[in-house]
Amino acid sequence: MSNTIIHKVGIIMNGVTGRMGTNQHLLRSIAAIMEQGGVKVGKAEFIMPDPILVGRNPAKLRRLAAQAGVSRWTTDLDEALADKQNIIYFDSQTTERRAVAVRQAIAAGKHIYCEKPTATTTREALALYKLARKAGVKNGVVQDKLWLPGMLKLQALRDSGFFGRIFAVRGEFGYWVFEGHKVPAQRPSWNYRKEDSGGIIMDMLCHYRYVLDNLFGNVRAISCIGATHIGKRWNENGHVYKATADDAAYATFELDNGIVAHINSSWCVRVRRDDLFVLQVDGTKGSAVAGLRDCWVQAYGATPRPVWNPDIEQPLNFRETWRKVPNRQVYDNAFKIQWELFLRHVVKNEPFRWSLLEGAKGVQLAEKGIESWQKRKWISIPKMKA
């Protein structure tokens, strides 16, 4: 159609040969957007991604590009940054490599979109935000959990007043990550080495910051205990190594509005719950339990009246007293939804509030969690100034 407007957007995708970068960002987001014909922003107006894959292993890049239907790839980041058609830089490298590359991309005038943690320290994460703002480039951080069906259902319940006054949030995250000896590990080995910026506190508390801030209230204090429960693991080459990073964390959060949240995180837990991540919200009028996709509710009027009596079999089937929230819409991939919002932000200047400042807040909470563990005390979370 001659009247169709297509905005072709070059995107440098650095580090997408990793598990998350390949599956969620390249295949299920950018490649999916390309396959659907781009992001529709008008009656006959579309944004079409034009990715170039960047990494260190040419063989992996070549295979991945073919798999995703992408024509461009390179092992030379400088070359990709020098190309003026590439206007967005995306980073899903390991955490310790991210800040240097993002700084380089900002200096090249690219808009920034990156995974979390955005840096290994709060100071560096905040500096990246300020640098991007000073350079006048648009910037964003991945906050995918906000668009999961389970979290969207919790948000809808909150907005409808279902809970009444919310006073408690409790969460369970994790699963058994095999050590890599007899059964292959499901996560990369660097996750378990502190010297390589590994650790579940830095990994997961960045998520909990934006989930709690956006759904329930700003986090103002934290009490956290970490642990390394499995001290020996095997890497991708079958070699044994010492696990030096925390593989479990038990954290309590105090929110601005008096809500108390507690979330257990572990890569050393066997799952007996509805999903790998489950969040329960309790309020005066009702409660809800959400997994990644589904959500169950129990209103005040449907709440059973249990009586403590350990001498008899429990007469109540508690699971039967909850009602499943129906799907009232088609839910797209959470990563893809945010990618589309960021592309609209870059091309059409539409609002996008999940900036690198929000990423810095996540790093801040993780650092304060580690500090709480080290000092064995509650730590206040100061408000972050832009």
Q: Report CA dihedral (132, 137, 143, 148) to the nearest 10 degrees.
A: 180
Using one digit for the tens of pLDDT, what is the confidence trace for 266-323?
999 999 999 999 999 999 999 999 999 999 999 999 999 999 999 999 999 999 999 9
Q: What span, in angstroms and rounded, lies between the C-alpha atoms of 212 and 256? A: 11
pLDDT in the model for residue 386:
73
Average pLDDT, 10 consecutive residues per value, the chain (386 residues): 88 94 97 98 97 96 97 97 98 95 98 97 97 98 98 98 98 98 96 96 97 98 98 97 98 97 98 97 98 98 96 95 96 98 98 98 98 98 88
What are the extents of the domains in the chain?
Answer: 5-143+334-351, 145-333+364-379
Give me the CATH topology for the region 5-143+334-351: Rossmann fold (3.40.50)
pLDDT in the model for residue 178:
98
Give me the CATH topology for the region 145-333+364-379: Dihydrodipicolinate Reductase; domain 2 (3.30.360)
- For the chain, the maximum distance between any two Cα atoms, rounded to a whole number of angstroms, is 78
pLDDT in the model for residue 2:
65
pLDDT in the model for residue 143:
98
Using one digit for the tens of pLDDT, what is the confidence trace for 202-219?
999 999 999 999 999 999
Q: What span, in angstroms and rounded, lies between the C-alpha atoms of 141 and 112? A: 8
For every residue of 99-139, DSSP letters joined together read HHHHHHHHHTT-EEEE-SSSSSSHHHHHHHHHHHHHHT--E
Q: Each residue of 133-157: b (16+ CB within 10 Å) or e? A: bebebbbbbbbbbbbbbbbbbbeeb
